Structure 1
């Protein structure tokens, strides 16, 4: 039995992977042009920590839908660069709370407008209405498939894999 050829250029998974490559390239180009060193995942982690000072690492992973073990390495790098502070939790001495350092706040304030400016370039082949529709469709797809991910999005106050509140 002969298999018919697959046209990967019509497969959503391949197209999403390619768009991710374009997205990361645009992010890195905009950030590097300003002399900053920051990856998209580091940016997302810093935003989560800024928005939720004192958050723990597992909750950051859930908020940005990133694998916990890999995010640990991301946080280690941010810590080594002096961008985040880890403090022992007053309620659980085993836990570490994360905060932005002043350098982290400065980097994030410089990066934020650059990242915002990169977004239209990612979808440059679409007009404004198509861009809004595309983003809405992506959000719908992600919501529908969230539980199929190895790193599902977990909001604050929701339960983690163990069924406990991750706060």
Structure 2
């Protein structure tokens, strides 16, 4: 008797990867249509800074669940675009703190409604109730699995904000 065929294209990991590709493509398309030069990670970083200005890069990485070493390159690009500023920490002269510039806040204000609006497009074809359900399940799976990651999410103290 032949082994039953396993459809690896239906594995959760594959489907999550595909949905991520769709999400990133939609984000890029919407940003380009609105003449906004931001990647999803850059958006997450400036959004985190808007909520918690004056933190170090490691804190930003923790807030958006991103690898600290890789985030350094993201911060470099944001600084080159004039969206953030790095200053010497008043508490530790060896450390740098990061703040959003006026240009960064302005770009975030422009991008936020676009990003909010495209969220339902990522899950197009699902009813509003199904969109809530999948978001709830993805949140649950992410929070449980987060402890296994190299760059786990660390919420702002006293905040339930998730990125």
Question: TM-score, length-normalised on structure 2?
Answer: 0.92
Deviations 1:96-117 (A, max 9, x none): 1111111111111111111011
CA–CA separation in structure 2 for the residues paired with 1:3 and 1:69: 45
Equivalent residue number for residue 21 of structure 1 = 21
Tell me by how many angstroms 1:3 deviates. 8.3
Provide the residue aligned with 2:156 in structure 1.
156
Residue in 1 that maps onto 2:84: 84
Equivalent-residue separation in structure 1 for 2:34 and 2:56 (angstroms): 30
1-structure distance, mates of 2:111, 2:48: 14
Unaligned runs of at least 5 residues, structure 1 = 159-167
Residues 49-60 of structure 1 correspond to what in structure 2 (within 5 A)?
49-60=49-60
Aligned to 2:131: 131
Give the match's secondary structure for 2:55: coil
- Per-residue deviation, 1:156: 3.1
* TM-score normalized by the length of structure 1: 0.89
Q: How does 1:1-167 map to 2 (within 5 A)?
A: 6-157=6-157
The separation in 2 between residues aligned to 1:43 and 1:144, in whole angstroms, is 25
Query: Which residue of 1 is the match for residue 161 of structure 2?
Result: none
**Post-superposition offset of 1:5:** 5.2
> 1:155: Cα distance to partner?
2.1
Q: Aligned residues, how many?
A: 157
Deviating beyond 6 angstroms after TM superposition, the runs of 4 or more aligned structure 1 residues are none
Structure 1 position 126, deviation (Å) = 0.5
Matches of 2:95 and 2:155 in 1, distance apart?
19
How far did 1:154 drift? 1.4
